[in-house]
Amino acid sequence: MAHGLIAAVSVLIIACPCALGLATPMSIMVGVGKGAQAGVLIKNAEALERLEKVDTLVVDKTGTLTEGSPTVTGIISLSPGGEISLLRVTAAVEKGSQHPLGMAVVRAAHEKGIVIPAVSNFNARRGKVSQAMSKVNGLLLVMNWLCRKTVSLLIIKRPLRIRCGWKALPLSMWPQTGTLQA
């Protein structure tokens, strides 16, 4: 059976290579179109191909699995012992933000009793970057949201010296959810 299939595909490739070249993109477009009709957004063909390997999909549309509120679970500073300082300046940038991840950073700073410094010229580009100017030492603080899972903070100081740090902000699971998450 397998030999027959290989022979058939070989004949198809030799006789009409264009048909096979068109069949693959056409089937992907049909899959994306059918998904769109069902209200599913498929961003690229790779996502569609990877979906074939999925055996279980858990969707939390109603908030029954997660609390729906991100929390800061870890802070990594490139400066030894700089986690509190990093959280302070990160919260300063995000204090004016309405983004759920920004609000999680501010909440984490309040929970640790950190006094959040005032900033000026707060600017947030929707879904991209928050930036603010600190009155102390003329710092320009830029907050980049990366990979939808982590946060990167650049502190650009005069003379140009750059420090970086990351925070992990996953959604917290309801305690009664158990071990459903991967």
Rounded CA gap, 76 and 86, in Å?
A: 9
Which is more confidently placed, 156 or 137? 137
pLDDT at 121 over 80: no
Q: Averaged over 41-60, what is the pLDDT? A: 78
DSSP lists the bridge partners of residue 161 as 157
Helices (H), the chain: 2-15, 17-37, 45-51, 83-94, 100-111
Q: How far is CA 26 from CA 10, 14, 31, 40, in A?
A: 20, 20, 9, 18
Domains annotated for the chain, with CATH where assigned, are: 2-51 (no CATH), 66-173 (3.40.1110.10)
Question: What's the pLDDT score for residue 9?
Answer: 80
Q: Averaged over 124-150, what is the pLDDT? A: 54
In the residue annotation, 60 being an active-site residue is answered as yes
Q: Averaged over 19-47, what is the pLDDT? A: 80
Question: What's the pLDDT score for residue 110?
Answer: 93
Catalytic residue among 60, 99, 170, 177: 60
Question: What's the pLDDT score for residue 143?
Answer: 54
Say if CB 151 and CB 166 are below 8 A apart. Answer: yes
Q: Averaged over 166-176, what is the pLDDT? A: 52
pLDDT at 145 over 70: no
Question: What's the pLDDT score for residue 61?
Answer: 67
Question: What's the pLDDT score for residue 142?
Answer: 52
pTM: 0.49
E strand or H helix at 131: strand 129-134
